[in-house]
Structure 1
Amino acid sequence: MRSTVTVGLVQQAAWPDKAKSLAESERGVRELAARGAQLVMLQELHATHYFCQYEDPALFDLAEPLDGPSGQRLAALAAELDIVLVGSLFERRAAGLYHNTAVVYDRQRGRVGHYRKMHIPDDPGFYEKFYFTPGDVDATQGFQPIDTSLGRLGLLVCWDQWYPEAARLMALAGAELLLYPTAIGWHPPDDDDEKRRQKDAWTLIQRSHGVANGLPVLVANRVGHEPDHSEVSPGIDFWGGSFVCGPQGELLAHAGEESELLLVELDMARGEETRRIWPYLRDRRIDAYGDLTRRYRD
């Protein structure tokens, strides 16, 4: 890992029109690269609307293989701009087998790794189990960091962000940054107090992963109202709030609720310094944690 890394986040609206959504992603990536970003991260499912609000088999037509047209476009963009680019794909792995996949492109090297979302929600407005299969757990997948020219990226996706186990396993495997492309928002009828509690909890849990593991955290979320095209619900108001925090959870940049680009220069030596002062990994009682592999302690 370099001593400093300039990172950029694209917080954007997205639409069912894949060409329009990808054009907006590319515009943000180009602007951040022009401003000096070496690593740019896009939000979850940035190439389309958030289609998981309802179940429709026809929407599987949105999926592409890893090296399909969207992947090729992102790879070419990373090569042209000489950056590390983290994108998101609705991946068609095989007939009837689809994933929510974050993909890393490293400058001229093209695709150097991918991460298939491990925790898959199934809640009103977020019917992801209908569309996505969880990622595999093996030597190359699961909670495995991705090596790039800028360091080891601990890449997770959205619902993974609520699980401290996922962040910890990435840290234990040598991740130097935690990254969370995300799609999360409000149920419009909720009152303002409930909306505030939800968003505060979302920010807090991810900052806590930085604290617990002594690592910077990057989070990119989408913005804007997206309707439920089945007309069963009032849709989702995506709250934005993308941010970058340091290894003690300190906020270094924090977006609002509109489309926005964030640019931060990270001092990567801070993680080492923080872990020397707060040696959580040293003091873990790994001999006493066996029950963590159980669903519940009855």
Structure 2
Amino acid sequence: MPQILKLALIQHALRADPDFDPGRNLDACIDACRRAAASGCRLVLLQELHNGPYFCQQETVERFDLAEPVPGPTTRRLGAVAAELGIVIVGSLFERRGPGLYHNTAVVLDADGRLCGTYRKMHIPDDPGFYEKFYFTPGDLGFEPVDTAVGRLGVLVCWDQWFPEAARLMALAGAELLLYPTAIGWDPQDAADEQQRQLDAWMTVQRGHAIANGLPLAACNRVGFEAAAAGASEGAAAAGAEAAAASDGILFWGNSFVCGPQGELLAHGPSDQEAMLLAEIDLGRSEQVRRIWPFLRDRRIDAYADLSRRWRDRQPPGPD
């Protein structure tokens, strides 16, 4: 029997604020949640670190002041909105766990307003423009789905989306839907063909996770240009290419999307503007797809022990 869930992905550009005050960005997220609920959505997915700029482009000690406790101010506001609207909201925060200890943390607010689950980003990148190891301690909560009023959600964050092990472990724990708050974009100096290859790879690997696990999947990405030293100006999503040409930074590529358990695209956002992406998914299809593609049945778990090793070093040949 169909189990239809309508969801919304909120693809936003940064609201500029010289004081890095999260108010304007969070207000925009909450306004979008209200519009999504009015459209009949029961689940809203926000993008990675939605309260402010993607500050990891530089290593700056002062940016630790942006962190907040969980639960804290943002979870209280999102929880109140979730309860008012009767929806589930998945957000993404810079968590201050303790003095000098910070995480990139996804939060799940249930339809009654409760903070019903958290996930701390497990895979932490350290690449030019993405200096996350300076800010974030790797997650320690494992790959545990969150039970909500709309189902069991497998919530992961951005860089996690490149690792099939993360998606598989969520699936094996009974996740009914994979969700990825994301902040990924292009180096404006890269050639157009290289940018296209990166975008294609990003979408392909995630659609592969959906197929390999027989699960629907949603990825919500930032959009617009953000300079390295500060935020973008208002309207940078529309003028991203021009801004990128004038300053170092990241041109976030948007392209938020939802796909079904066979990788079929159900909704796909633009690369250069904000969007509220709406989609309907049938949570009951996973059972049907897994019956005809029984990947979980045919896994050779008896032969996979070496997956827990960093590398399979070749042993030198023994004596004759």
Q: 2: CA distance between counterparts of 1:238 and 1:262?
A: 17
- Aligned twin of 2:250: 236
Match of 1:252 among 237, 248, 266: 266
Aligned: 1:195 with 2:195? yes
Offset at residue 110 of structure 1 (A): 1.2
- Aligned twin of 2:58: 54
Q: Residues 42-94 of structure 1, C-alpha deviation per residue, up to 9 Å, x if partnerless?
A: 00000010000001111110000012211111111111111000011100000
Asked if 2 retains the 8 angstrom alpha-carbon contact of 1:54 and 1:230, the reply is no
Asked if 2 retains the 8 angstrom alpha-carbon contact of 1:154 and 1:171, the reply is yes
- Aligned twin of 2:289: 274
Asked if 2 retains the 8 angstrom alpha-carbon contact of 1:164 and 1:209, the reply is yes
Opposite residue 249 of structure 2, the aligned amino acid is: G
Asked if 1 retains the 8 angstrom alpha-carbon contact of 2:80 and 2:113, the reply is no
Alignment of 1:16-165 (within 5 A): 16-136=20-140, 141-165=141-165
Q: 2: CA distance between counterparts of 1:72 and 1:14?
A: 22
Over the matched positions of the two proteins, sequence identity in percent amounts to 63
The two structures, once aligned, show a CA RMSD in angstroms of: 1.4
Asked if 1 retains the 8 angstrom alpha-carbon contact of 2:216 and 2:259, the reply is yes
Matched position secondary structure for 2:296: coil
How many residue pairs were aligned? 293
Asked if 1 retains the 8 angstrom alpha-carbon contact of 2:75 and 2:109, the reply is no
Q: Which runs of 5+ in 1 are unaligned?
A: none
Matched position secondary structure for 2:252: strand
Opposite residue 23 of structure 2, the aligned amino acid is: A
- Aligned twin of 1:292: 307
Q: 1: CA distance between counterparts of 2:99 and 2:3?
A: 44
Opposite residue 71 of structure 1, the aligned amino acid is: T
Give TM-score scaled by structure 1 length.
Answer: 0.96
Offset at residue 230 of structure 1 (A): 7.5
- Aligned twin of 1:174: 174
Opposite residue 38 of structure 2, the aligned amino acid is: A
Q: 2: CA distance between counterparts of 1:200 and 1:153?
A: 25
Opposite residue 10 of structure 2, the aligned amino acid is: V
- Tell me: CA distance 1:296–1:183, structure 2 relative to 1, closer, same or farther (3 Å): same
Q: Residues 137-174 of structure 1, C-alpha deviation per residue, up to 9 Å, x if partnerless?
A: xxxx2100001111110000000000000000000000
Opposite residue 174 of structure 2, the aligned amino acid is: G
Larger radius of gyration: 2
Q: Residues 193-246 of structure 1, C-alpha deviation per residue, up to 9 Å, x if partnerless?
A: 000000000000000000000000010000010001079x71000000000000
Asked if 2 retains the 8 angstrom alpha-carbon contact of 1:180 and 1:220, the reply is yes
Offset at residue 17 of structure 1 (A): 3.5
Q: 2: CA distance between counterparts of 1:216 and 1:291?
A: 29
Q: Which runs of 5+ in 2 are unaligned?
A: 232-246, 314-320
Offset at residue 2 of structure 1 (A): 7.8
Opposite residue 220 of structure 1, the aligned amino acid is: C
